[in-house]
């Protein structure tokens, strides 16, 4: 599951993962929508943009634990470096 508001980042990450490994990537721009569908999706891993706007990363982690407390989901938090 990839949660990022930037469609260019989503496209790049999905293309990279699919072409290199064949991994199925589910994309979402809203962390709240992603959390709402998480139990049905059952992702192996969540890639999360550190700069998401609806909730902080800390809030996301707490909400994630409440959705499916018996299941561990790995979360990788990343950020796009600013262009200078």
pLDDT at 83: 58
Is 80:6 a contact under the CB 8 Å cutoff?
yes
Residues 25-82 have pLDDT tens digits of 999 999 999 988 887 888 889 999 888 888 888 898 888 888 877 778 888 898 776 6
Distance CA 39, CA 56 (A): 20
pLDDT at 84: 44
Is 51:79 a contact under the CB 8 Å cutoff?
yes
Q: Can you list the positions of beta strands (E) in the chain?
A: 2-3, 27-28, 45-49, 74-78
Distance CA 63, CA 35 (A): 7
Distance CA 10, CA 25 (A): 9
Q: What's the rounded mean pLDDT across residues 14-22? A: 86
């Amino acid at each position: 599951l990839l949660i990022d508001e930037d469609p260019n980042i989503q496209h790049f990450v999905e293309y990279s993962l699919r072409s290199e490994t064949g991994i199925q990537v589910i994309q979402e721009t809203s962390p709240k929508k992603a959390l709402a569908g998480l139990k049905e999706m059952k992702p192996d891993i969540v890639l999360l943009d550190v700069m998401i706007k609806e909730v902080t990363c800390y809030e996301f982690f707490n909400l994630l634990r409440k959705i499916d407390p018996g299941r561990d989901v790995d979360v990788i938090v990343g950020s796009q470096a600013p262009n200078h």
